[in-house]
């Protein structure tokens, strides 16, 4: 029975994708076909889907999207970028290094890779081109660094992973073999993402320096001075306080991630309207329109992907796949290699949030079976899928960078390959050294 369901479910899903159906349609139709084959009442589809989008933690999703859109409209993102640029100085690759740092700053607010690429790229790509950087390189480094937006907390994909993993407790056999696993929580995932985000950012900075040295790309023409840095820090103080307020409130236990997202909205409204005075009614309505469009798109994917995942679990398909992988090998490093390579491949063709919702029920039991901590697994999964933003054919960051620089995606893709390679090496390091993800949550007593 399991083999027949696997064939019908995945066969119809891949067939629909092949003929060009949207991923939401492919997920929903393939699940309905399987429901009919199993003799299930189709109303169950609607019940499961409704439950999936009615959880309290999921409220953080539209709230963080709105907070990121408002911060761009209110001028906070521009001030963060100015702070990052002030640290660049005249050093080799300084402008592109500032772009990586700016993506870290903005990612700590938006939680989205494409939003980070758009906000930083609109300012930094033209600035780099003006200072003699190649268009392809400027676009590639921005698209690659934009992926940091889903790793550095608060990360929207980490929220989705946390929601998906909450309903996937470790099987008794895994607990018996490897002991008790950590419980999954969104604050714990957030804090576990900090060190890996800086590891990936460091790898990007190293590759940036190598390429910039080869092409003689320099930093700012104004030089470097402590006074300039201090002035930009002063001007951007309230922008820099945004991630401090958001993350400080979560980790201190003062409010939950969902409440933190609401606090971020009101903080941005107050700073944009009363302090920076750049938030007009027009910008406010544009931010709301952007949030509505993105939230609807994400929730529609969640609606169908959750039912798809539930069907997998109820028919024990993840257990079958886990047994197949473990029959091949039980070496944790080989398992990690297979998981990372598979996620890299899938990330090239599928939207990140849908991938998380589809693959968590399939791959988390495999991780439990070899003793991989679910928090560590979640961080590695999100880091790996982040590379998909900078690789064709679906790389959203490439499309955004291409639109800003007005050069072809193929041209940018070739120049993004070295950054994708160094990112992949960093992910293997994060996977093979669990403490990079787990020591900070333990330090804070999670």
Angstrom distances, CA of residue 441 to CA of 190, 401, 434: 9, 35, 12
Task: Give the residue extent of every domain in the chain.
Answer: 58-303+313-443
Residue 271 has pLDDT above 70, yes or no: yes
Using pLDDT thresholds of 50, 70 and 90, give the confidence band for residue 375.
very high
pLDDT tens digits for 382-430? 999 888 878 776 677 777 788 778 787 778 888 889 999 999 999 999 9
65: pLDDT confidence band, cut at 50, 70 and 90? Answer: confident
Q: How confident is the model at residue 223 (pLDDT cuts 50, 70, 90)?
A: low
Position with higher pLDDT, 243 vs 203 = 203
Under 8 Å between Cβ of 107 and 152: yes
Per-residue pLDDT tens digits for 94-106 = 788 888 888 887 7
Closest-CA residue to 359 (of 161, 147, 112, 131): 161
Over residues 148-206, the pLDDT tens digits come to 888 888 788 888 898 888 777 787 877 777 777 778 888 888 889 889 999 999 999 99
Confidence label for 431 from pLDDT (cuts 50, 70 and 90) = very high
Per-residue confidence (pLDDT) for residue 382, from 0 to 100: 93
This prediction has a pTM of: 0.78
Query: pLDDT digit string (tens) for 7-30?
Result: 887 788 888 878 877 777 887 888
Q: Kindly tell me if the per-residue pLDDT of 234 is higher than 80.
A: yes
Q: Is the bond preceding 239 in cis, omega lying within 30 degrees of 0? A: no
Handedness of CA 251, 256, 261, 266 (dihedral sign): negative
Percent of the chain with pLDDT strictly greater than 90: 12
Burial 209-235 (b: 16+ CB within 10 A, else e): bebbeeeebbbbeeeeeeebeeebeee
Q: What is the reported pLDDT for 55?
A: 62
Contact predicate 395/413, CB 8 Å: yes
Query: What's the CA gap between 169 and 164, in Å, rounded?
Result: 11
């Amino acid at each position: 029975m399991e083999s027949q369901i696997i064939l019908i479910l995945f066969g119809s899903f891949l067939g629909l994708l092949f003929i060009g159906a949207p991923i939401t349609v492919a997920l929903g139709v393939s699940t309905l076909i399987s429901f009919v084959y199993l003799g299930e009442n189709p109303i169950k589809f609607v019940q499961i889907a409704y439950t999936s989008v009615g959880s309290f933690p999921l409220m953080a999703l539209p709230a963080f999207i709105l907070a990121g859109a408002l911060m761009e409209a209110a001028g906070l993102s521009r001030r963060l970028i100015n702070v990052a640029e002030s640290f660049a100085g005249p050093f080799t690759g300084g402008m592109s290094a500032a772009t990586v740092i700016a993506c870290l700053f903005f990612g700590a607010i938006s939680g989205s890779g494409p939003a980070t690429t758009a906000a930083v790229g609109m300012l930094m790509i033209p600035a780099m081109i003006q200072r003699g950087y190649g268009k392809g390189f400027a676009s590639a480094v921005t698209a690659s660094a934009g992926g940091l937006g889903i790793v550095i907390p608060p990360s929207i994909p980490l929220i989705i992973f946390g929601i998906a993993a909450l309903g996937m407790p470790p099987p008794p056999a895994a607990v018996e073999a490897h002991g008790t696993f950590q419980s999954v929580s969104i604050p714990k995932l957030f804090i576990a993402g900090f060190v890996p985000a800086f590891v990936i950012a460091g790898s990007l900075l190293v590759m940036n320096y190598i390429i910039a040295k080869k092409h003689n790309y320099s930093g700012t023409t104004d030089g470097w001075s402590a006074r300039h840095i201090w002035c930009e820090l002063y001007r951007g103080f309230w922008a820099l306080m945004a991630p401090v307020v958001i993350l400080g409130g979560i980790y201190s236990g003062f409010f939950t991630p969902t409440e933190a997202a609401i606090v971020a909205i009101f903080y941005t409204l107050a700073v944009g309207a009363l302090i920076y005075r750049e938030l007009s009614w027009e910008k406010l309505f544009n931010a709301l329109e952007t949030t509505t469009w993105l939230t609807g798109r994400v929730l529609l994917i969640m609606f169908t992907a959750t039912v798809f995942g539930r069907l997998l679990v109820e028919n024990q398909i993840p257990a079958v796949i886990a047994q197949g992988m473990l029959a091949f090998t039980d070496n944790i490093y080989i398992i990690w290699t297979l998981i990372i390579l598979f996620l890299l491949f899938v990330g090239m063709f599928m939207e990140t949030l849908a991938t998380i919702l589809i693959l968590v029920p399939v791959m988390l039991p495999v991780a439990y079976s070899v003793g991989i901590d679910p928090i560590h697994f979640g961080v590695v999964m999100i880091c790996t899928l982040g590379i998909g933003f900078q690789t064709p054919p679906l790389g959203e960051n490439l499309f955004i960078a291409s639109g800003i620089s007005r050069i072809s995606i193929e041209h940018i893709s070739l120049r993004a390959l070295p950054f994708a390679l160094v990112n992949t090496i960093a992910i293997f390091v994060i996977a093979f050294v669990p403490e990079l993800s787990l020591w900070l949550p333990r330090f804070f007593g999670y």
